[in-house]
Each structure stands twice: as C-alpha cells, then as structure tokens.
Amino acid sequence: MGPGVCRDDKPVGHRVSAELNAMPLAGRDRAIGYALLALAVLCVVGPFAWILMSSFKHQIAILTGAWSFTPTLSNYTEVLFGRRSDFAGNVANSAIVAASSTVLVLVIGTLAAYSLYRFKWARWVTAGFLGWTLVFHMIPALTLVGPWYLAFRELGWYDTLAGLVLTHVTLNLPMTVWLMMAFFREIPPEIDEAAIVDGCGPLEAFWYVALPLAVPGLIAAGVLAFIFSWNEFAIALNLTARDTATVPVAIARFAQQYEVQHSQMAAAAVISTIPAVLLMALGQRYIVRGLTLGSVK
Amino acid sequence: MRDTLNRTFKHWSLLPAVLVFLLLTIYPIANLVRMSVSTIEFSGGVARWSFTPLSNLQLLIGDTVLGAAAVNTTVFVTVAVTAEMALGLGLALLVARLARGKGLARTVMVLPILVPAVAIGSMWKLIYNYDFGVFNQALTAIGMMPVNWLGSTKVALIAVIIVDIWHWVPFVFLILFAAVEGVSPDVIEAARIDGATNRQITWRIIVPLLKPALAVALIFRSILAFKTFDEVFLLTSGGPGTATELVSLHLYKVFFEQNQLGYGALLSLAIIAAVIAFLLVSRKALPQRGMA
C-alpha cells in the first residue's frame, strides 16, 4: 500500500498509437498533411502572437498598425503599478478566489466521488446525484446569478470574495466528482478490500490507500478547477464590485471604456493567460487526460 | 471519535456535496419560481417583493429582443458547432496519420480551451479592429475595402461565430483524437487483410467507431455554444442593434441592466426547461457510462 503506485503510469490518452501507423500518409499526401497541420497550428497561435506583440506596443503604435516598433514594457508597468490601475488587486482577488475554491472543491468533490464509488448507495441516490451534476453543468450559470445576487445581498455576501468562492465551488463540483470517480474506478477493488481485511476502517482505507493512488486525478481536477475559476467571468461580473473584481472583470472594463485602452487591455489579457500557460507546461498530460476522460471511456 | 468517523464515513463523505447542491442550486431554482411571479424593487438597499403573476408573462410576450436573440442563438449554435465538428474530426483523422507532430498538436490545441474567454475576446477585438486590425490591414494591402467586422449588422454575427469556431475546434479535436488513438490496431489490421483501402478504413471503420465520442462532443458543444457569453459580451455586447444579441446576453441585460429580476427569473426558468428537454432528447445518443 505504498503511495504513488500509479504515478508512473502513462495516462490513457497517451498510449503510443501503433494502429494508424498501419496507414501513414506518404508522398504528396504526406506533404499536404503536414502543410495542413502547420496551417492549423498557425491559426491557433496567430491570435496569441498578435496580442502578445500588441502588449509590447505603445498605444500609438497599435493605432497606426505599425509592424516595426520599439518594444516597451510600459503597458505592463502601467497596468500593474500605475496609480490609476487596480489590476494588481484584481490579480490578488483572482488568485485568492481560484486557490480557495480549488481546495474546497477538491475536498468536497473527492469525498463525494469516493462515497459514490465505494459504498452501496440506493440507486436513486447515485442516479439522482450524478443526474443533477450533469443537468446543473449544462444550465447557463447566468440563470442562477439572479437568485444568488438576491440571497447574497440578504446575507451580506454580495461583493465579497467568500461569496464568489462558494459559487465557483458549486460550478466546478460536477467536473471534480466525475473526474475523481473515473480515477477511483481504476484502482483495483482488491486493494481496498485488502486494507479492510487488515483492520482499516473505511475512513482509513480511503485516506491511506485510495487517496494516494488517486493523486494524478487530484492534480488533473485541481488544475482544471483552478483554471476554470481563474477564467470565470459571468458570475464575477455580477457578484463583485470595484474592490472584489477579478481579472476577467477588469479586462472587460478596459475593453468597455468609451475609448478602448487597447494597449492596456492587451497587457492585462496576456497577464491573465499566465496561469493557464504555466500549469499547461507543468501538467499537460494530466490536463489533456482530464479534458478528454469520460468521452473516451 | 475515530470509530464514529469510520462508522459514519459513508454518509458524511457525501453530505458536503449534497449540501452545496441543495443550497446553491436547488434552493436558487426554487427561488426562481417565486421570483418569476413577483416584481422585485430595491429601496434603500432592501428588496421589496410584490406578487404580480401576470406582469412578467406580459413582459415575456412583449419582448421583441428575445425573438431576435433566439434566432441569433440558433444560427450561432448551428453554424459554429457544425463547423467545429467537421474541422475537429478532419484534424483528428489527419494528425493520427502523421508520424510526427502529435505532441505539438496536442499542446497547441489545449491553449484556447484554458485561457480566459475574456482574453480571447480581447485578442479578437484587436484582430477585428476597423482601423488597425490585421484582417483589414491585409485587405487594404491587396487593394480591397476594409470590413467593419464588429460594427456592421451584416458581418458581426459571422465575426463572433468565427471566434467561437477558433475557440472550440481544438476541444473537438482533443476528444476525437483521443478516441481515434483508442481504436484497436487489430481492427484496422483485419480490415487491411480483407483488402480494404485507406479511405474505406477511415470512413467505414474508424469513423463509425468514433460515434460515442462524436455524440459526446456534439452534445457538449451544442450546450456550451448555447451558453456562450464572455467573448460576445466583450466583442459586441450584442450589437450593433440586436445583430449579435444571444439569449445569454439578453438574460444578463434583463437581470442586471434593466433590473427586472422577476422577468429575468421567468426567462431563466424557460432556459433551464429548454436545456433539460434537450438533455432528455439527446440522452439516448450518449454512451452508456456517459460523463460519469
């Protein structure tokens, strides 16, 4: 029952695919194939490159559409440290909300997933719970923002980070439960049962046996929950005010001003993509697996 | 203490999640029902409710923007999702047959899914800009008239659909690519021995085997496209006029710009009912274990 037994396993989606090497493209087809792939990659990367370039331009260089320009960091310093900018505060708000909602949703979601996977619940409990996670996941969050707004005003949670954290926990709970259930299912039941035979209680079997084996799942679910919370806009727009606004809300403000602050909007948008790019670099295989899991199984 | 925790673990492990759903989803939906038959006004920061069951229905019937929003949303979802499925499938089948570039494709394609939609809106606001955007620079360079991408009623909806396609082809690609890689080599080998051509193997064997993944991608994309809000809010906010007004944007405006919480609740209930109806209809197409 050593921890991390599964850590070196290759995620499912990454199995080396021998099958289609049975029909590789050859000759002219292969050249066209690589050209199309290059085009697709260029289409995806292009807009990122364009905004990255814009973020190093003075507003005037953006407005004239100049291709050659002297790069400047002034947009970044202006956005992060400028006296008229709250953006540093927005980054702090987003970080606090994303981190706390991720920790909470991992605890709540993992416990629920283990409970549904391991214990014999009546069918209506399992079906009802999982059915509701699917329905709720599909409903536009905006339909619930109205009642949340009314309730939070009454409770004094409107315009607080804690209130926003709760809504983000709710939003990410379905995905966390599905992912963790899928990862728990891959643990052979004999391992759990052996622990019980050895005198572990159900809580100990969960804590010492199942949880360590599900660490890749925790990483996948945690990274995705963090990113989705960091990116979330529709709820934050309506449940926060100036002091509690998150990064996406701040970027929208740059874009919505009468005179659009293109250079600062670009710099702020580039900063907002940093967590996704960083986490991507660190845990790509977990993320891709998390995003595609369930659809392939 | 420890024994009690152990004995009741089955129950308390599920309890927090149930509480979250009860308090933050079920209760608010029940509240929507109450709100939908009320008029809610704020005086001195306190909400005052009055029971006016018919006035919200009248607002619904008299809502001319809602019709435009429904039409736009239907066009948006149909065109965007069709293009995303076709391009995503084509790309997945292509990349699977290339010896190199799989890792690169996977890395690059994850990016649009993970960055904030608001940042994507910002990118395309720069790209579509009338005066200095890259599209209009290219058009003028080859001697054509610049296009008012986001400001013309004829083009704006197409422009936001293009952004959605750009945003979500990678998602469809990732799901289908994982499924293509899951196709057993034996099946293909057997078909080849039976004399099937590459084209036949692709369309008669691989694509039919992708059906569950195709269904999941189609259903998920349809509903997520229906929910689209962030990018369009940033790019056009529904304008010019109602050219890009989507149901989600309209709901936002009713709730938070016109402050009609009662009518907004009625609209919300209608949207929730529509989503559930869509799920029930499409449930049969989902693979057995679905997303669970």
Which tens digit of pLDDT belongs to each residue from A136-194? 998 999 999 999 999 998 899 999 999 999 999 999 999 999 999 988 988 887 887 88
Q: What is the pLDDT of residues B237-246, one digit of tens each?
A: 888 999 999 9
Contact A251 B109 (CB under 8 A): no
Q: Would you mind telling me the total number of residues written for chain A in this entry?
A: 297
Q: What is the pLDDT of residues A258-295, one digit of tens each?
A: 777 888 899 999 999 999 888 878 777 777 777 766 44
Domain range B56-285, its CATH number among 1.20.210.10, 3.40.50.1370, 1.10.3720.10, 1.10.10.10: 1.10.3720.10
Q: What is the pLDDT of residues A47-99, one digit of tens each?
A: 999 999 989 988 888 888 777 788 888 889 988 998 888 899 999 999 999 99
- CATH topology for the A12-21+86-292 domain: MetI-like fold (1.10.3720)
Which contacts qualify for B274-279: CB closer than 8 Å, 24 or more apart? Answer: B275/A135, B275/A138, B275/A139, B275/A140, B275/B223, B275/B226, B276/A135, B278/A138, B278/B222, B278/B223, B279/A134, B279/A135, B279/A138, B279/B223
CB within 8 Å of chain B, chain A residues 262-291: 262, 265-266, 268-270, 272-273, 276-277, 279-280, 284, 287-288, 291
Contact B223 A138 (CB under 8 A): yes
Name the phi and psi angles at B48, rounded to 5. -115, 125
pLDDT confidence of residue A297: 35
Give the start-to-end residue ranges of the domains of chain B. 56-285
Number of H helices, E strands in chain A: 15, 0
Chain A contact for B50 (CB, 8 A cutoff): no
Q: Would the ipTM clear 0.95, i.e. be above it?
A: no
Contact A153 B271 (CB under 8 A): no
Question: Which of A119, A181, A292 best tests the B interface by mutation, with the highest count of B CBs <10 A?
Answer: A292
pTM listed for this prediction: 0.89
Residue B44's contacts (CB-CB under 8 Å, 6 or more residues apart) are: none
